[in-house]
């Protein structure tokens, strides 16, 4: 009886494994053709300055529509990474985001933030891909921000740190995404000298139930390392006010705006939250 039960359990298990694996393969095969079949597009979520509610930047977020189905990036990015497709997809995002930003960013001082996966960051050709994206689009390096996660430092601190410095010398700003969820030690974080950190939205969400303890701690760490702070996933007015009180410089989340389609950016820039002339000196980040 026991043997039989075990075998059936194993059977169910491997059946599920097979389903997962074939789904993975299906996604991988679909992704391979996604670029040439124009199934990828970028949406843009605003990042707002706390002090005057002006628009500081837009974060580029990749979208994939495959056979009438929207597949979320949390599902396809890991597969793109695993099968080496992330290099081509990442370069596509960088090129298009810079091109788009050169249409709405220049003159307004509105930057574009591009997510970069660890594997892209470790590609020795990465710096050239970035340079080409800037050259081809005419976007000033100061208007390009790159978002990386703490996992890049686990891999190889020295080369990562060198690459960050190289990018910063060009004028590009670098931020740590999902800050606080990784495993970096405080001393590693201190040695990094990135420009900004984005407090993960899980901590912002917890502000409502557990109070602001974690967020306050993360802000204090960021402040003492001279990192500017962006709060992600801000969904309510209550969170907005609390984060402003805590001195967070930038806010991003559904409360201010969901990610926007490219064609809606001009009208978004024109409506309401346009940079006020009295605050022009604050348009450029100090780091
Ligand atoms: P992320 O960079 O941390 O982006 C934030 C995610 O939170 C986005 O999900 C965004 O739509 C969502 N979000 C923003 N505000 C709110 C809010 O107020 N509440 C809630 N619940 N969610 C909010 P999305 O677009 O599904 O992207 C998920 C992740 O996929 C990103 O996390 C990023 O790690 C990755 N990703 C997206 N685009 C790219 C890309 O072009 N390249 C790479 N390497 N990764 C990307
Ligand atoms: Mg991000
Ligand atoms: Mg994040
Ligand atoms: Mg993320």
**pLDDT given for residue 274 in this prediction:** 42
Q: Specify the ligand 1 atom closest to the Cα of 117.
A: 44
Burial 119-151 (b: 16+ CB within 10 A, else e): bbbebeebeebbeebbeebebbbebbbbbbbbe
d(CA 145, CA 179) in angstroms, rounded, equals 16
Q: 217 with 246: CB under 8 angstroms?
A: no
- ipTM for the predicted complex comes to 0.98
Structure tokens at 228: 């500017």
Give, rounded to a whole angstrom, the gap between the first and last alpha carbons of the chain. Answer: 68
Q: Degrees (nearest 5) of the Cα angle 251, 256, 260?
A: 110
Q: 228 has which bridge partners? A: 196
Pocket test for ligand 1, best of 71, 90, 114, 115 (most atoms within 8 A of CB): 115
How many A from CA of 179 to the centre of ligand 4?
9
How many A from CA of 109 to the centre of ligand 2?
20
The 10s digit of each residue's pLDDT in 174-214 is 999 998 888 778 888 888 889 999 999 999 998 888 778 88
**pLDDT given for residue 105 in this prediction:** 84
Q: 158 with 121: CB under 8 angstroms?
A: no
* Environment of ion ligand 3 (residues, CB < 5 A): 177-178, 232
- Residue closest to 192 by CA, chosen among 212, 213, 175: 175
CB atoms within 10 A of CB 57: 26
The 10s digit of each residue's pLDDT in 204-261 is 998 888 778 889 999 999 999 999 999 999 999 999 999 999 999 999 999 999 999 9
How many A from CA of 188 to the centre of ligand 1?
25
**pLDDT given for residue 281 in this prediction:** 35
Taking CA atoms only, the protein residue closest to ligand 1 atom 37 is 61
Q: Specify the ligand 1 atom closest to the Cα of 232.
A: 15
Which regions of 2-68 does DSSP assign to beta strands (E)? 40-49, 55-66
Describe the crossing of helices 126-137 and 86-104 by its angle, rounded to 10 degrees: 30
Residues within 6 Å of ligand 1 by CB: 45, 60-62, 72-74, 77, 93, 115-117, 147, 177-178, 201, 232-235, 253-254, 259
């Amino acid at each position: 009886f026991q043997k039989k039960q075990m075998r059936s359990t194993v059977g169910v298990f491997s059946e599920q494994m097979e389903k997962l694996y074939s789904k993975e393969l299906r996604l991988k095969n679909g992704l391979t053709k996604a670029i040439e079949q124009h199934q990828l597009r970028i949406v843009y979520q605003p990042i707002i300055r706390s002090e005057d509610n002006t628009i500081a930047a837009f974060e580029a977020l990749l979208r994939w529509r495959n056979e009438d189905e929207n597949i979320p990036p949390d599902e396809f990015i890991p597969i793109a990474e695993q099968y080496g497709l992330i290099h081509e997809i990442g370069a596509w995002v960088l090129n298009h985001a810079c091109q788009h930003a050169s249409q709405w960013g220049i003159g307004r001082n509105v930057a574009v933030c591009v997510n970069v996966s660890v594997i892209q960051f470790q590609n020795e050709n990465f710096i050239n891909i970035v340079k080409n994206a800037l050259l081809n689009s005419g976007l000033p390096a100061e208007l390009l921000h790159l978002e990386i996660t703490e996992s890049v430092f686990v891999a190889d601190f020295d080369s990562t740190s060198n690459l960050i410095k190289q990018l910063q010398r060009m004028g590009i700003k670098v931020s740590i995404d999902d800050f606080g969820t990784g495993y970096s030690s405080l001393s590693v974080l201190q040695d990094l000298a990135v420009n900004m950190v984005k407090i993960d939205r899980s901590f912002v969400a917890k502000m409502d139930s557990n109070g602001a303890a974690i967020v306050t701690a993360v802000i204090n760490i960021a402040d003492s390392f001279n990192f500017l702070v962006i709060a992600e996933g801000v969904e309510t007015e209550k969170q907005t006010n609390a984060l402003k009180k805590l001195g967070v410089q930038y806010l991003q989340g559904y409360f201010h705006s969901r990610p926007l389609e490219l064609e809606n950016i001009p009208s978004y820039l024109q409506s309401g939250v346009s940079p006020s002339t009295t605050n022009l000196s604050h348009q450029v980040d100090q780091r």
